[in-house]
Structures are given as C-alpha cells and as structure tokens.
Amino acid sequence: MKARIYLALLFSFGLGSNWASAEEKKILLEHPRHDYLKVDNIDLLEGELRKALGSLESYSFSRSWWKWDRLRQRYVDGGRKDENAIKILRAVFRGLIFDWYERCKKRSEGDLFYIFFTTNSGNKVQRESANGRTLKRDHHGGGYHGGWGGASRMRIYEELVLQNMLTNEEKATMRKIVNQSLEPRFINFKKGSQSADNHSFGNGGGIALAVKLFPDVSQAKEARAWLDRIWNDLASFGDWTEWNYYPYGPIFLHGMLDIAESTDRINSDSRLINAIGKRCLQFNHGGGVKGGPNCGIRQRSDLSQVYADPWNVGYYDVETSSRDGNFWYRLAQHYKSPEYLWIAEQVALGGRPPSGKVTEQYKAAYNKRFAWFVERSFEPKTPKMKAKVGLLSELKERVKERIYLNAGVEPHKPYAAFFLYDKKDSHLDNVSGFLYEYSFNGAKFLHSSGKYNNVYSGNDLRGGGSGNESLDSLLVVHKRHQFPVHPDRLGDSRDYRRMYMAKHLPDLAYAENNDSEDSYGQFSFVEYFGPKSRWLRKAVLTAEGYLVVADEYRVGQVLGESYNAGPVWHLARIKGRKLGRQERNWFSAPAFAQAWWQQEQMGVALYIHDHREMVFGTINQTCSQDLDLNTTAYAYRPIKAGRTERFLSLFIPHNLSMPAGAIVRDVKSWVSKKGKYGVSIGDVMIEMDGKGNWSVSR
C-alpha cells in the first residue's frame, strides 16, 4: 500500500523522467509541511529543496503549484510569523523558475521557457515554438493548461518581493521571464478560450497579476483586453456553464477570484461573484456525503491524512479536493460570510454530526485549517436552504437548472436533487432530468453519473461506463433491445437518441415545502425519446427521508407499440447478488457512502408499484472512471402511442439491521387512470395528483 502511495506521489510530482536522486525525491515528498517553525537549520533545508526541484526534468506547471500557493496563504494568514516558510517558498521559486531558466539557457533553450500558457499548436505532450522547435510540456512550460499555476507563481513572487527575499538581479530576471512568456510567439490572446470556462479563467489569474505587477510587459494591452472579454462574457450571462464541478469548478472559481483580485473587481463585481458563489453553495448539504451531475464524489475512507494535513488533503477523494475547500476559504475571507465558511468546513473536513460534537482530531484539524477565522472568533453558519428550483444566472437569465428537495441542509435532514438544464458542454452527460443525489442522515443512497459518462469520441464512449441506462431516470427502449440497455447517441429512426433532443419545459418546474418539513418538486421534458412525447416527473421527499417519485409519460404517435418504458435506479453493488429478472417488485442495497460520523450501517429499500405486465430485474453495467460500482434496478412494461403511462417508485431508508423485506411488507401503493398517485408506509401517507397537488399525512 505504501509503495503504491509513493509511486502515486512521484507521478503527481512529474518525477517519471528526471535526474533527481533518491534522497532528493524523498525531500520532495516531505513538502510542503504544515509549518516550518521548528526547523533548526532552515538554510540547509532551503538549499536541499532548491537543489531537488532544480534537478527535475519534469514538473507540473499547473496543478503542482497550487500547494505552494496554499503554503504562501498559510504564511500570510498566520501573520507572517513562520519566517522559515517564506524561505521554503524562495527555494521553490528559485529551483523551479530561476534554476530551470538558467538550465534552459545553458542548453540554448532559454528562449523556449515560459511560465503562463501557450496557444501554439500541439498536444498534451508538446507544442511548436514560433521557429518550429519543440516546446516540451512541464519542461519548457505548461502547454495550454500550464497557466493554471500562473496565479500561484505570481502571488509567491509578489510575496517574496514584499519580504525582500530576492536579489535585484533575480527581480530583473523575473521581469525578463514574464515579458518573454507574454510575447506573441507564445500567446495569441485572440486564440484559445474567449469565454468564461476553466481554460480561460484558470489561465487568466496569472496573466492578470502579471500585468498588474509588470504593467509595461509585452502584450499588456492585448492581455487586458482578453481579460475584459472573458470577464464580460461571465458578466453578460451572469454565470458560467460547465457542469462537471470536479475538477473544473475549483479551477474556474479560483480563476474568478484571481482575476477579480488583480483587476479590482472583487468589490465592484461582488454582486456577480456572490451570485455564483451562492449557486455553487446550493450544490452542498451538511450530510457528510455528496453527489453531482457528471462527477462521482467519494469521501476518503481513511481520514488520518485529512486530519494531519487539512490544507492539502480534503475530505472528498476527488481531484482538486483541497483546492475546493480553499476556494470557499478565500470567498469567506473576502466577503466575511459564515455560510461560505460552513461549506469550506464541509468539503475540507466533512462537517459536523447532528449532535455538533466532534472528535479531538477533527477539532484540531479545524483549528489548524481555519486558524485565521478562529483567531477572529468567526464561526461557520448553516445556510437557510429549502426546496427550490435552482437558477443558473440568477441575476440575468434566470434559467431553471436544478430542483432541490430539502427542508434545510442540517446533517440529519434528507436531501435530493435533479438536474434539468438541457444544454451541454463537452464534459457533461447528454441527458437531463435525472436524479443525481439522494441522501439522508449521513448516508448516500443514489449515486450521480460519472465523469465523461455517455460522452463520445467518434463512435466510442470516451470515459468508460454506459449510456442513458446509467442514470437515475425514466428510460424508453425499443423492444429489439434488452431493457435497459439503450444505443444512446448512435440512434436511428427506431432508437431515438437523447443527446440534444429532450427539451425542458421551464414553466412546469416547481418546488416547495409544507409546514411539516416535507418537500415537493416537479419538472417536464418534451421530445423525450421520440417526437411529441412528454415526460413529467413529480417527487415528494418526506421528513422521514422517504422519497416518492411519480413518472408520467405521454407516448408520441411515432412510437407505435414498439417500445418499453420504465424507471431505472442505480443501487450500490452487492457481491454475489443474483441478477436478471425477478418476481418481486422491490430491491434493497446498502448506502453507497456514509459520513464520517454515521456509525450505524444504513441501507435503502426500493419499492416500485406493480402495474399489469410489469417486468422487474437487475443488471450490472460498467461504470465511468470515478463512480463506485452499482447495480441497475429496473422496471418496465410495453407502452402504446397516444396513451399516458404512469410509474411510481418509493425509496425507504433504514438501518441494515432491519431486513428490507420486513419494511416493504407494510407498503401499499396505488396509481389511478386520472393521474393520482399514493403510497403508505406505516402511518405515513403520501399522495400526488395530476394538478400538482400533494400531501403527506401522519
């Protein structure tokens, strides 16, 4: 296990091809430490670290700089008391910038060295210089993504200058490197992204600070014009439209703050920045588990690394994990928001249990990670959030993007979310209207789709996994296929593809709470798996955590009698589970994940109303690269053109000590031809009708 971790760390440092000795590699793996206060011979350590970094032939110009910037932030926010830390940052900067530049010069490649990004043609490995020579990624510079570390480099440089840690010769060299890096032979500011996305904003922060610190460098005018273009694109729409939060959300969001800080927009555009921040805040709750459209979100099983180094290891085991927490940290600092501090704690440490009591390890990690706030007696505050239709571009376009079902985001409360937006980017599933999270009392029962799931490269699925049938949704499949397997994008006149076809009906999207902390939501799509077909989904989430989902599908005439339809739900995989068709109309599974504080083993029972001709079963499918293994539980029956078909699903959370069969034995359900749905679980009765009325009685 330790060997695998060691190799993974080596890879992350880009040490696959370098001349660093074993001792130098060991030094690299030890840094950055949480603090350097107790280092006796800091000058020796500074020299060793500089030498180790300077000897590398490859080092990430993007992601690997973020941790050094967090060390700078710890130093600054700690009142600049850890004088040894600034020496470590000097070692990093001298080793990776000045020493690398000098080495390139000795190889007659000094003119190939750049520290931001390049729009020159090429690929992820190499790009072409202006005179036809090869720019090697993470050697001469970072390629197109290399600017993701640009803001970190410039902030570290700024702090080193402020603390008088560099010689006049070094400052002159840095001016030369910045000027060279911004020359037209590296960057054409009219190429690459000209809109608000992770590419432009991830690269833009370093450019913005560079032209602030060196206002007369090459292409300063062009750089400022580009920064204005990408910011105005964000401001004119009032948001950004990349849905894969991990890893691209933190890249974009940090870039937004980087640009805003360097161009004096942090206050003048605070309304826009906070609108985006509050939209992203809604993606989260206090349950210690998490889901998201198009990104599987796991938390770590071993939290010892999180508690030991909460600045660099986040609670969720995802790319940019610790960087997500640092975005919310920065936002909380800028706007003095206790709600932003709350979400920073959730993603950094997993949040507090319903009792509010945490372990000594947790408390120590919180005090370490959020010392700046602790010293100022600044406490996190749980946001007041209830059931709602989440809006994209709330200040401008007010696009109905998601449905949130909840009666608060406290750790013990139930939470469910559906994704609605029907326009896609290259990282998102080609599907809208799916349930991407269902959690209760520190347990996650339904998963999201995974990164690049149902995204194609030519005729091949790009990220592994399956297609539409891998989403928690209503599925329509031609009878020539084994339900729920669907041909997805490669549709024909019989198999209607879903990509860019289903159209959201925003007027029907609605969500609300009653006075008993129950939630209701609904939405609808037309052209759903066939011309003039319409899907309407309604859902009730009760205070007990019961989730009732009613699907109504109006079958278009062209579908005739050639299709099957029904709901598909993805439950945690159980080793040895018998697959295939089954007689009973219910399924069970343990939770996909549980919060660090939830010690009882949780599970969920899925009950589907048994219509005439209904077929029930399970299959195992391949999963996208960041998803836990799951089993597809399905139910379907033949559908007929011109009819309205109705389906009803019920989820019941429970302790695994209680058999699911005993739980579903007390369930009763009914669906009428007039569109009335109902279930009873013990003394709780949930009802919905065709007019949007709903009730929960006890």
Q: For 35-81, what is each residue's pLDDT tens digit? A: 899 999 999 999 999 999 999 999 999 999 999 999 999 999 999 99
Instruction: Map tokens 């020159």 to a residue.
Output: 120
Q: Which structure tokens are listed for 544?
A: 């007990």
Whether residue 166 is contained in a domain is answered as yes
Instruction: Output the pLDDT for position 470.
Output: 77
| Domain CATH number, residue 468 | 2.70.98.70
More confident residue, 481 or 341: 341
Q: Among the three residues 157, 187, 217, which one is the final residue of a domain in this structure?
A: 187
Confidence of residue 15 (pLDDT cuts 50, 70, 90): very low
Say whether 536 sits in a helix, a strand or coil. strand
Contact 452, 557 (CB under 8 A): no
Instruction: Tell me the pairing of strands 519-526 and 510-513.
Output: antiparallel
CA distances for 583 relative to 206, 249, 322, angstroms: 61, 44, 47
At a CB cut-off of 8 Å and minimum separation 6, what does 146 contact?
A: 61, 62, 114, 115, 116, 117, 118, 137, 138
Q: Among the three residues 143, 167, 187, which one is the final residue of a domain in this structure?
A: 187
Q: What percent of the chain has pLDDT over 90?
A: 81
CA-to-CA distance for 25 and 11, rounded, in angstroms? 11
Confidence of residue 634 (pLDDT cuts 50, 70, 90): very high
Whether residue 449 is contained in a domain is answered as yes
Whether residue 675 is contained in a domain is answered as no
At a CB cut-off of 8 Å and minimum separation 6, what does 315 contact?
A: 299, 300, 303, 306, 321, 346, 347, 348, 349, 350, 596
Cis peptide before 638 (omega within 30 of 0): no
pLDDT tens-digit map of 680-690: 999 999 999 99
pLDDT at position 409 over 50: yes
Q: Is the dihedral of CA 367, 370, 376, 382 positive or negative?
A: negative
Mean pLDDT of the chain: 92
Q: Which structure tokens are listed for 122?
A: 């090429």
pLDDT tens-digit map of 273-298: 999 999 999 999 999 999 988 888 99
Contact 630, 589 (CB under 8 A): no
- Residue 645's CB: how many other CB atoms inside 10 A? 20
pLDDT at position 258 over 60: yes
Whether residue 673 is contained in a domain is answered as no
HSE-up of residue 420 (Cα within 13 Å, Cβ side): 29
Instruction: Output the pLDDT for position 13.
Output: 42
Q: Domain containing 5: what range?
A: 1-187
pLDDT tens-digit map of 471-493: 899 999 999 989 998 776 566 77
Q: Which structure tokens are listed for 216?
A: 């007369």
Packing angle of the helix pair 321-335, 270-281 (nearest 10 deg): 140
CA-to-CA distance for 499 and 432, rounded, in angstroms? 9
Q: What is the DSSP letter of 550?
A: E
Contact 127, 192 (CB under 8 A): no
**Please, what's the largest Cα pairwise distance for the chain?**
83
CA-to-CA distance for 185 and 198, rounded, in angstroms? 23
CA-to-CA distance for 314 and 348, rounded, in angstroms? 5
Instruction: Output the pLDDT for position 427.
Output: 59
At a CB cut-off of 8 Å and minimum separation 6, what does 464 contact?
A: 452, 453, 622, 623, 624, 625
Say whether 135 sits in a helix, a strand or coil. strand
CA-to-CA distance for 192 and 384, rounded, in angstroms? 40
At a CB cut-off of 8 Å and minimum separation 6, what does 491 contact?
A: 497
pLDDT at position 496 over 80: no
Q: Which structure tokens are listed for 358?
A: 């945490």
* Rounded average pLDDT over 505-518: 97
Instruction: Output the pLDDT for position 502.
Output: 87
- Residue 587's CB: how many other CB atoms inside 10 A? 24
pLDDT at position 2 over 50: no
Whether residue 147 is contained in a domain is answered as yes
Whether residue 552 is contained in a domain is answered as yes
* Rounded average pLDDT over 371-387: 97
CA-to-CA distance for 50 and 603, rounded, in angstroms? 52
Whether residue 394 is contained in a domain is answered as no
Contact 130, 120 (CB under 8 A): yes
pLDDT at position 307 over 80: yes
Contact 76, 311 (CB under 8 A): no
pLDDT at position 17 over 60: no
HSE-up of residue 289 (Cα within 13 Å, Cβ side): 27
DSSP codes joined into one string, 623-692 = -BTT---EEEEEEEEEE-TT-EEEEEEEEEEEETTS-HHHHHTTEEEEE-TTS-EEEEETTEEEEE-TTS
Whether residue 198 is contained in a domain is answered as no
pLDDT tens-digit map of 176-218: 999 999 999 999 999 999 999 999 999 999 999 999 999 999 9
For the ranges 301-310, 482-491, 657-666, which has the lowest average pLDDT?
482-491
pLDDT tens-digit map of 78-118: 999 999 999 999 999 999 999 999 999 999 999 999 999 99
Q: What angle do CA 161, 167, 173 make, to 5 degrees?
A: 85
At a CB cut-off of 8 Å and minimum separation 6, what does 537 contact?
A: 418, 433, 474, 522, 523, 524, 549, 550, 551, 552
Instruction: Output the pLDDT for position 372.
Output: 98
Q: Is the dihedral of CA 85, 87, 89, 91 positive or negative?
A: negative
Instruction: Output the pLDDT for position 458.
Output: 66
More confident residue, 494 or 666: 666
CA-to-CA distance for 246 and 639, rounded, in angstroms? 38
* Tally of domains in the chain: 2
CA-to-CA distance for 138 and 176, rounded, in angstroms? 20
Q: Which structure tokens are listed for 543?
A: 């205070």
Alpha helices in 370-429 (DSSP H): 371-375
- Residue 331's CB: how many other CB atoms inside 10 A? 25
Confidence of residue 18 (pLDDT cuts 50, 70, 90): low
Q: Which structure tokens are listed for 338?
A: 């206790």
pLDDT at position 497 over 80: no
- Residue 609's CB: how many other CB atoms inside 10 A? 21
